[in-house]
Structure 1
Amino acid sequence: MANTFHTQSDFNANFGKEMVSATSVYEQRQKSGMIEYSLAIYDFVFISDTEQKLKLLGELLSQNYKYNIKSVTRHEEYYEMAGDSTEFPVDEHNLLYWALDLYCKGYEFDCKLDGYGAMGDPNDQAFLNLDSDRYNEYFDLAMAAYDKRNLGMAFIHFSTAIKINPEDPNAWYSRAIVKDELHTWKSARRDYDRAIVLAPDFTDALVNRAANKDEAGEYNDAIKDYTTVIGLEPQNAMAYFNRGNSKFNLKDKKGACEDWHTAKDLGASYAQERIDQNCNNVFKAKILGFYNKN
């Protein structure tokens, strides 16, 4: 059912403004004397046109995020729900992605993120332990958050893992996935790039980067990445299927159909739909051409 309060057009139009707002909130925190990566608990407010939408959102944030959610209150023209986050280390990017996750989660429940903020005492700041032996702990916390669809905290924990060990491509790759899911494909691309620099044969990262490029309309570059994957893993059905999609976007129907058929032969049964929709005439023409020559 389409949103009636936080519509898709509103979501799209205000996404950039939400990013600017997060930067502004962070700058105010810096001006107050708070040091980067000091810990904070942020309060937040959502609004919607029905109590039920906010309650459903609140249940998710309470159960999956472990946030403290307060009762829904009624105002003249809307309903409001406030809550408090769990504690997390704050820098500009952590705050941005924490806020973007809430913005996106609100949209899923037809609710609007109406504001957020945190108090802080410059004379009493606490920080995470970033010792080298804590890498696995933060990576595991990130994966657990991601499994709960808590993308904001997944981003934050992956970023902390990267701070501790920036040479592990898995954290860069994983954070890129979170960025992609939060609609920041350019920033995701940079993380995929870094993962691939660290591990040139990281085929999952290559496939995801290629998909990222395809979404951006960079079809030729996407094909190059898929071709690299196929060179590394000749049995990778997904790479053939996706490369077929990129070729199709470039109007190379023959090349697309060849890749989709290879993907199907390698076990990608889902390729049949694309073949049925786009390839029958291609291969019929090839057969007719064969008979005409003879």
Structure 2
Amino acid sequence: MDVESLAFRTDIALLEQTGSVAEDRGTHLVVRTPLEPSFYWGNFLLLPAPPAPGQVDHWVREARREFPGAEHVSIGMDRCEDGATLQPLREAGFRVDTVAAMTTGAVDAGPPLADGTEVRTLVTDADWDQEVDLNLASEPDDPHLTREFLQGRAAANRALVAAGLGHWWGAFVADQLVSSLGIFRAGEGLARYQNVKTHPGFRRRGLAGALVRAAARDALEGLGADTLVMAANPEDEAIRIYRAVGFTEGGLHAEATLLPARD
């Protein structure tokens, strides 16, 4: 299967650099991360397009067969120009998101930040511990984001940094990490942003935009990238930040997750 979505192509490239495997089944891809079996978007099926009506159960069974120990089912769709085609997945209980791949080759300078804000890369163990804490604070209601899972993700991202593939950037206020993101080489001339987030108590201060700009300069000047790739929900408020920085939207893809039952 040829992957058209620049977002999925760069996602898979980064996953493979941390030990994941993408297996081509012809009609679809199977992406697996053996060391992190509970990672929703490290263990998923990638289809060319949304399943046809009546085919959702088939793909759920296929996912269960490929990932027999997983509690979740995650299905990515490489193209999705019509949101109505996702309705069968919603009716089957999936949480469904439409995502835009955004790209740019340059960013604007941006406004200055308030005094007392430091923008830099994460370096120390304490910095990475704060990255885990920030994730927990940013998504307090997501049962998937346990401390153990986030520590595993931080270790994987730190390994990418150690390999010279990019950096994890943070905005600090009074030595507290309050916003962060990653930027990594993800193919010839490509660099991909990862996990942009800001602490709820520090939003609407321009922190995410400042990090996007700092990481862009890092990638364009230091990683040999000429195209920066971002993925964002078209309905999410954050997409306005990325547009203002200089990103433009390309094609749409979709992500569907059937979550484990909770008591």
> Do they superpose with TM above 0.5?
no
Structure number with higher strand proportion: 2
Normalised by the size of structure 1, how large is the TM-score? 0.23
Normalised by the size of structure 2, how large is the TM-score? 0.25
Answer 1 or 2: higher relative contact order, Cα 8 Å, separation at least 6.
2
Between structure 1 and structure 2, the one with the greater Rg is: 1
Structure number with higher helix proportion: 1
